[in-house]
Amino acid sequence: MLYGRLPKQSWYFVILIGILSPISLQAEQPKGGRMTIAAGQDVSIEYTLKLDNDQVIDSNVGGEPLTYTHGAKQIIPGLEEALEGMAVGETKHVTIAPEDGYGPVNPNAFQEVPKELIPPEALQVGTQLQGRDASGRIVHPRIAEIKENTVVLDFNHPLAGKTLHFDVKVLDIQKSHHSQTP
């Protein structure tokens, strides 16, 4: 009996090592010896975002990478979920439904205001305005419709209700320097 020959303190040490080792291995999630994306890590990605019609909406390819803390809800949920477990150098095409992106279009996010509140040079459907809501937060509604005496403003995110297509490449993964992750 191996444990019978060890001093009592050593036996406890062996038990603790056996209990703690699997936990630390799970936290790093090695993939062929490489670190993979998991909660609490700072991740840098390169991406191109397109809509269903293949129109490029945004891209940082050839520019500054997007860096975020994984699990801290700093990017849309569908993209964060798709990146989980990827390693540096990996690429992926990700299609994200509106519910996992910027949400569906909220019909309650439209507001009709008197036309005279809008600067005449901005009176065009699609123009994005800047203002403050009742709590003082800066908002960016878009002009959705112009009527005879009023203007309908859309306070939805411009990509609400849209299916999003990301081409993503993981550039870097580091242990986070931030202390807070959910």
The mean predicted confidence, pLDDT, of the chain is 85
Q: Which domains does the chain have, with CATH numbers?
A: 1-30 (no CATH), 107-154 (2.40.10.330)
pLDDT tens figures, 8-29:
443 333 333 333 333 333 334 4
Residue 93 neighbours by CB distance under 10 Å: 11
pLDDT tens figures, 61-87:
999 999 999 999 999 999 999 999 999
Residue 157 neighbours by CB distance under 10 Å: 17
pLDDT tens figures, 116-169:
999 999 999 999 999 998 899 999 999 999 999 999 999 999 999 999 999 999
Residue with tokens 């992750």: 181
- For residue 7, pLDDT beyond 70: no
What pLDDT shows up at residue 26? 34
| Beta carbons within 8 Å of 67's beta carbon, 6+ residues apart | 42, 43, 44, 45, 172
